[in-house]
Structure 1
Amino acid sequence: MTAARFMRAGLVLLLLAMVLRPVWFTPLLAPFAPAGGPVLYERSPLWSLTLGHLGLVLVASLAATIVAVGLAIFVTRPAGAAFLPLSRTVTNIGQTFPPVAVLALAVPALGFGSGPTLVALFLYGLLPIFDNAVTGLRTLPPVTIEAARGIGMSPRQRLISVELPLALPVILTGVRLSVVIALGTATIGSTVAARTLGEVIIAGLLTNNTAFVLQGGIITGLIAVLIYDAMILLQNRLARTRDA
């Protein structure tokens, strides 16, 4: 086992231990808890909050990927090229408004819970995916596209069989950035009653309990690192397959 694989396995085990057996970390977290206060967050199971956190990120990232890639395909076709500036403006909305502002605007319409958080994560995740998808589709080798056209492929066939597979590594870079941003941003969803790891962090901030903050923050950080690493591995494998 290489050093990278050993480190990866160690991080996975650490994450599982913190989520499923938090009591093991009591001695390490105790110095950061207030005198006489609780060391471990026990109001909700950490595994349940972790699954809720990941579920929100997965749904929002999947929706953002479908919309952003679909929009990128449209504006890189001759019929949609004129809409590229407008599309950039639309996808920039999520980056222009802070997630807290999006939550505040969404709560009156959607109520408290997961809905406002999903809207915020969706809007915040559009831009990285859209920009990378446009770049990937606009920088394809002209020779390859001409060869596909020369053998009689229709525009639809070229898109599905040639353009998207070639652009996929670049698109995945945008998806990776979007997912990591969503993992961190999802913590604020707990301010509107969404079940995320932000519940642990916010509880720690409200009670001046750094042990809680560390619990929620470390778990969120480990998840982000592992998902980022997994997506890099996937991207590299796809790039090697494409170049083979």
Structure 2
Amino acid sequence: MIGRLLLALAAAFALAFLLSPTSFAVLFQPLTRNGAPAIYTQASLLRLTLFHLGIVALAVLISTAVALALALFVTRPVGREFLPLARTITTIGQTFPPVAVLALAVPVMGFGTGPTLVALILYGLLPVFENALAALTGQPAKVAEAARGMGLTPAQRLWQVDLPLALPLLLAGMRLTAVISLGTATIGSTVAAKTLGEVIIAGLLSSNTAYVVQGGMIVGIIAVLIHAGFQHLERRAARATGQTD
């Protein structure tokens, strides 16, 4: 109960700040020096937040689609021998620094959202892939026996049994990817992508701590809310499939 109340308060504060940031100037004024402005006004904080969330949402959806497709492929008889290759691909995406991806993508794609999206997609593959793989390969043997006993075809078993049972773990992987992507997306502003990193970078360049705190605060609150939201969905999915009380 207390946790939900704190989440609601954090969400209300973030929304109020984004709708009217200048109303909170007094809170950030102590973090400025030499009469610098307390609130970032070079661009709309609400607009930057929406752009930021849009990039992250698109990256998570694409990462999930690609990673789930890979997991499904390598857990079918025809694709089992490609499991090491799939693991290598998703691991490289996680270990290759996003900054390096941006540096390689900019000459090809130009400045803007494109390079950032590529970096986030690559970075988000591993959590979804490993969770989907664990969910699809870790189901009890009696489930497969029951599906065969009901006369389900492989496709019917996939859609009616395997994927519903895998959903809680799949959502957990999406949660990790979403939270990681939310923070990582801030570096997209170094290549002219519209993200909250613009506020943080402006603060660093002007030695204005208030800007840095504002950008970090919004990202942090949204990350906590996304984390809690996905956890709620995971619990509901687990209850719906009888995996928990």
TM-score range, shorter chain: over 0.9
Q: Which residue of 1 aligns with 2:50?
A: 51
Give the length in aligned residue pairs. Answer: 243
What is aligned with 1:96? 95
Q: Partners of 1:5 and 1:216 in 2: how far apart?
A: 24
- Structure 1 match to 2:213: 214
Does 2:136 correspond to 1:137? yes
SS in 1 for 2:171: helix
Counterparts of 1:38-77 in structure 2, within 5 Å, are 38-77=37-76
Q: Aligned-pair distance for 1:9? A: 1.3
User: Which amino acid in structure 1 is aligned with residue 190 of structure 2?
Assistant: T
Q: CA deviation at 1:179?
A: 0.4
Q: Report the Cα offset of residue 36 of structure 1.
A: 1.5
* Matches of 1:186 and 1:167, distance apart in 2: 28
Deviation (angstroms), 1:239: 0.8
* Identity within the alignment, %: 58
Distance 2:138 2:57 in 1: 28
1:38-187 matched pairs, under 5 angstroms? 38-187=37-186
Q: CA deviation at 1:5?
A: 2.5
Corresponding position of 2:17:
18
Deviations 1:105-130 (A, max 9, x none): 00000000000000000000000000
* More divergent stretch after superposition (100-109 vs 86-95): 86-95
Gaps of 5+ in 2: none
Distance 2:172 2:61 in 1: 14
**TM-score, normalization by structure 2:** 0.97
Shift of 1:242: 1.2
Q: Match for residue 234 of structure 1?
A: 233
Task: Note the residue ranges of structure 1 that are not aligned, 5 or more in a row.
Answer: none
Structure 1 residue runs of 4+, over 4 Å off?
Answer: none
Other structure's SS at 1:80 match: helix
**Alignment RMSD (CA, Å):** 0.9
Further displaced range: 56-65 or 25-34: 25-34
Which residue in the other structure is 2:7 paired with? 8
